Structure 1
């Protein structure tokens, strides 16, 4: 099966599309990337017939939402503006404006807190009509249910504004927006409903707590397990949305199984996720960008390791993994096992070079490790001292060269003042240490019970000088404001050589796709939606720098050995082969552009318009 090409004609020119998501102008999780990256391809087809609908949280929205003022709103003549004006006439706090992302889509944001005075009635109706229970002390559920009530009102008003044969499509993402669906159906609001679950809520919890999740999926008692994990309300909302929608969809063939057994409905369509590849395109610059950002990582590595011992940075590979801290689900356990085996192989092989492996995730911490912070600060001082000496020697050498009749190079040491010699020596003396470089960059709140630290301590993978695989565990996002890296996450990715994401549970998985878009090879697994899609749709994917670890119906040992072999083959590539591989990766990323993958959404919308 080949990746479909985007359809050149607009779907249903008489229809309006409202895409409803909790992450519209509200960055919470991975759905934000899905929605935001898809906007340009959607706007290209739907244009003025498209708008997004989400909750209005002023603090979150202020950096990326530009509301229309009263004059602008009064001059707009489209149905979305008519519906917003009508809601305002009824006293609702609702905003219409532009999302300041590529494509600049129209956005309607509704403040959920304005319906809190009706929460008692909303909760009663959800229980009475749909069997959805709501506890009294869960503010997220209150926000979700209040927003669902207001989203229903907006769609009621919008459908009343449109003139046949114009129709309204509403596409809801995830359980947080799905509250509106059962009531829209019960009240027979003339809107064609699509619901997408990107990962069943219960599936994520079960996978985190059951190492044999896929084997036990068919025997799950959804209601009992939802109560066990204290997510009964959310799971019941998700089920109601799945059953109430005209078209029910999910993001991969893997999550189809979850939907069948946990939500009791077979999805009508699979909607794979893509990226707006144009955002990542650097034309012929991506190799230069790799060098530029690798140099920034070199600076971090020197500060982190060279205080204790040094190694050849030109013969060092930077590998990384990133994502939500789910030790088993994200495959951190498998990655660590393979790294320990790779370390042993490298030690036994006699091959030159080192591997530095970064774990980038988010964990509660007190502060950056003072030792790590001080080492970086002292190295910066070393750099400033060296630059001062360099300037002084440069000026004096230039003068000596012009004035001298001797063509031999003079004694450069004599051109450095004693002040700078002393400062150079003292700075290095204060920096060097005999202690091992720390594995983790921060002081965790619960260091003793951290699974990554537990593994590296048991495996003695603690950055010994003889270890050929070094570990850097960074339990915070990489950002330009970080005193350790001082760069964007995307820049960090470009500076690395390989991304490793052998997930056990991953409904889609953007991280390897983001690597490919930046010309960085990546490892995924056949238990991630992306990896499964690659296996089914991308011929010769390994030649394109996308490697898939087999975890379906494989033991942990088998998968660990396969991943170790992949890493072993990678570290043996020479520089020329790695450059060719990055070229292949970057050129293949077009396969995952929304312009090509949008056709799956188009088909789902066409199907929804047929059903009512």
Structure 2
């Protein structure tokens, strides 16, 4: 698979494209990033022949969806609008409008709850026609099956609106929309259907529970395992969608094996994921942005650590990992082991400097640790006191300089009022402590059984003064409303020096790609779709700041040692070398732009149009 040199030409004008995803105007998972970031490149190629279809959830749609009013809808002459008008005539709650993202694509949203009165019949049809059972009392499955029924009706209405030689390609993402596919095929709806699984549902469950997932894959009894994990309905929907589509696709060469053994169909194509790189390009600004956001991380680190002890921030590197809390799948276990080894190496080496490692993930918590909040609040008071003293000394020094006949610098301490001296001393006294800086910023619901905390306690990697690797575990996503960071996740990424994502199971992996798009070096693994793609398609990828840990056919210890060596080599770089590396990363990010990777999708659509 080669990286295409340029964006593909638009397809034949007789093709319409409908992309169906649960995440359209509905930010609930990683596929939201895929769909949303791909929109500008898809609109560029398909223009007004492109439309997205998803479920209508009022609260989520409110901030992202701009509906057409009745007059606008009545004036549109395209088949997408025509199908919406026909459904409305029949009493369906269906909305047509614009998704408020770059590219402003046309979107159809259908309220799944309106089909709840027909759920009994929908479930009966799925069982009798396709052997898919549905338990009672599972509302997500009910939403999925209701939406699938309504999506089928919309696509059948759209197909009736289309005048030959015009044809319709319907591209479904994941099992949550794939429920419509078997019924569309059984009823012989004239559509050309593409189905993409971004990660097989069963594969994700198995990988989380089997440390030797890849070795055991070909021996899996899919039906027994689906029942064991209580996901039989979803797995059967996924299999029916894979077998019912004209063209079946997945996102990486790694997930091809999963599809073969767990879904019993060889994918027709691999569709690697990209990003809309233009969103991140800051021309010559990105080095300045790194400094700007690193300064905000400095503020957090001073508040978190300097209450107990201080270290030189100019000689401190900020590393991070982020994503869904899957301790083994996401490689948190490997990362922690490598950090413990790096800590020992740094202590033995005598080198100057420290590493602060951030774990950004999502875990149930009661509240932010009051000690962490209080420390930050007192540090802000210290800053206000210092600024007040600075202003007072500045004014008095300027007056003294203008009035004095003496060229010597006056005693600056005498220019500070006793009030500010006393406040300065008291604030510092109330802030400083002999306690160690906390590893975790929040109070977890189940602190005793958290794998990250259990590792750092067992390894005594608990932010001792002598530790050269410090840990900050933030069990909530970074956002501008967070009182601890107060910035966007993307800004936090820009402020860091290196992202670490050595996943054991990762069908694609957006987190290292998001680093690369922002000019930040990243570590991935050969068991992630992104890492596998890089190894096949990006020559000299380490020179471009993308490092791939070998995990296939390697022991945990071997991979941990390789990751430790990567981190060690990174720590040894000087400032000039790190700046050059960031320049290389940023200048090569365009390899992963959707404008270049959209060609894989269009090839799949061309193949679907050739199949009946």
Fold match by TM threshold 0.5: yes
Contact 2:172 2:178 in 1 (8 A): yes
Q: Which runs of structure 2 are paired with 1:152-231 in the superposition (5 Å)?
A: 152-231=152-231
* 1:464-514 deviation per Cα after TM superposition (whole angstroms, max 9, x unaligned): 000000000000010111110001000000000000000000000000000
Aligned partner of 1:36 in structure 2 is 36
Given that 2:98 and 2:105 are in contact with CA atoms closer than 8 Å, whether structure 1 keeps it comes out as: yes
| Other-structure match for 1:379 | 379
**Separation in 1, partners of 2:520, 2:178:** 36
Superposition pairs for residues 552-567 of structure 1, below 5 Å?
552-567=552-567
SS in 1 for 2:464: coil
2:516 aligns with 516
Mapped contact 1:525–1:549 kept (Cα < 8 A): yes
Q: Please say if 1:75 is aligned against 2:69.
A: no
1:286 corresponding residue in structure 2 = 286
TM-score, normalising length from structure 1?
1.00
Aligned residues: 612
2:420 is paired with a residue whose SS is helix
Name the SS of the counterpart of 1:63 in structure 2.
helix
Q: Deviations over 1:417-465 (max 9, x none)?
A: 1000000000000000000000000000000000000000000000000
Is the contact made by 1:339 and 1:469 (CA closer than 8 Å) also made in structure 2?
A: yes
**Kept after mapping to 1: 8 A contact 2:343/2:468:** yes
* Distance in 1 between residues matched to 2:585 and 2:7, nearest whole Å: 25
1:345 matched residue in structure 2: 345
Shift of 1:6: 3.7
1:309-458, aligned counterparts within 5 Å?
A: 309-458=309-458
Aligned residue for 2:523, secondary structure, equals: strand
Q: 1:563-584 deviations in whole A, cap 9, x for unaligned?
A: 0000000000000000000000
Q: Which residue of 2 aligns with 1:496?
A: 496
Q: What is the alpha-carbon distance in structure 1 between the residues aligned to residue 152 and residue 281 of structure 2?
A: 39
Q: Distance in 2 between matches of 1:5 and 1:598?
A: 11
Matches within 5 A, 1:91-110: 91-110=91-110
Cα deviation, 1:199-233, whole Å, max 9, x if unaligned, reads 00000000000000000000000000000000000
Residue pair 1:12, 1:606 contacting (<8 A) in 2 also: no
Q: Is the CA contact 1:6–1:598 (under 8 Å) kept in the aligned structure 2?
A: no
| Deviation, structure 1 residue 7 | 4.3
SS of the aligned residue for 2:63 comes to coil
Distance between the aligned counterparts of 1:5 and 1:28, measured in 2? 33
Partner of 2:133: 133
Alpha-carbon distance in structure 2 between the residues aligned to 1:144 and 1:408: 79
The root-mean-square deviation of aligned C-alpha atoms, in Å, is: 0.5
In the alignment, structure 2 segments of 5+ residues that lack a partner are: none
Q: Is the 8 Å Cα contact of residues 170 and 191 (structure 1) preserved in structure 2?
A: yes
Provide the residue aligned with 2:526 in structure 1.
526
Contact 2:144 2:179 in 1 (8 A): yes
**Structure 1 residue 5: Cα displacement:** 2.7
Aligned to 2:409, the other structure's residue is in SS state: coil
Distance in 2, Cα, partners of 1:594 & 1:120: 42
Which runs of 5 or more structure 1 residues have no equivalent in the other structure? none
How far apart, in 2, do the equivalents of 1:30 and 1:604 lie? 22
Name the SS of the counterpart of 2:519 in structure 1: coil
Where 1:402 maps in the other structure, the secondary structure is helix
